[in-house]
Homo-oligomer: A and B are copies of this chain.
Amino acid sequence: MAATLKDVAALAGVSVKTVSNVVNGYAFVKPENRRRVEAALEATGYRPNLSARNLRRGKTGFIALVLPELSIPYFGELAGLVITAARRYDWNVLIEQTQGTRDRERTALTALGPHMIDGAILSPQALAAEDFTGFDRGIPLVMVGEHAVNVPIDHVAIDNVLAARTAVRHLTSLGCRRIAAIGTNPGRGTAALRLEGYRTALREAGMTESPELIVPALEYHRQDGALAMRHLLDLPEPPDAVFCFNDLLAIGALRAAAERGLRVPEDVAIAGFDDAEESAYSIPSLTTIAPDKLAIARTAVDLIHRRVSEDDPFPVQDVQIPFALEIRESTAGRLGLA
């Protein structure tokens, strides 16, 4: 069986307190004792029992990461970064998948509590402000991406309006005159923000908005993008550019364009949002908004850590993370010159 503190103490001929002090890096231990404890630690291969430690400390050593689905590239990438960031604080990350349904998001919020986790990072998709009201988990929460407005919860995200505006301005600057948008969705706050950015960019270019060019997407998967794009291409006057609210939609759009024998970007330019790794390798490669995902992950984890460890609470944070417009073949390049 695994060695306990007691075993180590017996072997080293000291009390458990001394062993505990050594294990926890307490400075004032007689060198002689320290040596012996370390030897005993080594000999027994001691590992602290986390359940016991956490029970005693009143902490769990875990944070939760609540997201729609790990198989979605953006979330897979983000999860990997969060896990790495959490290791700085010796936290383990519990991943909860909600498929983006409000019901499961609410459940995750309720079921997870102080008894299981020290804090949670939430990437909600459908959660509304009501779901938070009168709701005290007793543990810090930070929302990433989507932002439930009017709820005093820490939030980390890029400036969605500006990012969308930047992407669409890129399209207008290329000379595109009929720019569509794919991805509006009543349930998603970011969809509204991206739409706003799209509209602003059109206005700035002196273009008027055509309602038929704004296409909703229920989910943000590749097939939804393909579907929406086919719809756009069936229009009497199809678009010469499409701004998709995420990369998966854009990948689907790329495919729909190819099916119709259209060249991208010559016949229709396509831009995405998220900078999934696959977007650099699609054919053509995809112009996209690249959020600093590493910064998102680190900031979210750090924020939880500050809330957990600081005694005097600080104001609710709304942190803006930088992003970049990644220009690739689907709008401006030519295959092979990437």
Contacts and interface: CB of A to CB of B under 8 A. Distances in A.
Nearest to A137: B2
A97 B83 contact: yes
B113 A47 contact: yes
A326 interface: no
Which of A60, A72, A96, A115 is the most central at the interface, judged by chain B CB atoms within 10 Å of its CB? A115
A60 B69 contact: no
A115 B283 contact: no
Given A51-B55, A92-B94, A138-B2, A281 B251 contact: yes
A251 B277 contact: no
Interface string A50-71: 1110110000101000000111
Contact of A60 (B48, B50, B96, B336): B50
A100 interface: no
A267 interface: no
Contacts of A222: 277-278, 280-281
Contact of A283 (B77, B116, B258, B336): B258
Contact of A50 (B49, B70, B116, B255): B116
Interface string A272-284: 0000011011110
Interface in A85-131: 92-97, 111, 113-116
Given A49-B55, A69-B80, A71-B277, A2 B114 contact: yes
A26 to B, nearest CB: 21
Contact of A83 (B95, B255, B258): B95
A216 interface: no
A259 B92 CA distance: 43
A248 to B, nearest CB: 9
A145 interface: no
A246 B261 CA distance: 28
Interface string A168-203: 000000000000000000000000000000000000
Interface residues of A, number: 54
A77 B83 contact: no
Interface in A239-284: 251-252, 254-255, 258-261, 277-278, 280-283
B73 A73 contact: yes
A124 B226 CA distance: 36
Interface string A312-324: 0000000000000
A79 interface: yes
A227 to B, nearest CB: 12
B60 A51 contact: yes
Contacts of A54: 51
Interface of A: 1-2, 47-52, 54-55, 60, 62, 69-73, 75-77, 79-80, 83-84, 92-97, 111, 113-116, 138, 222, 226, 251-252, 254-255, 258-261, 277-278, 280-283, 335-336
Ordered nearest first, which 5 A-B pairs have the shortest CB separation?
A: A76-B76, A70-B80, A51-B55, A259-B336, A51-B54
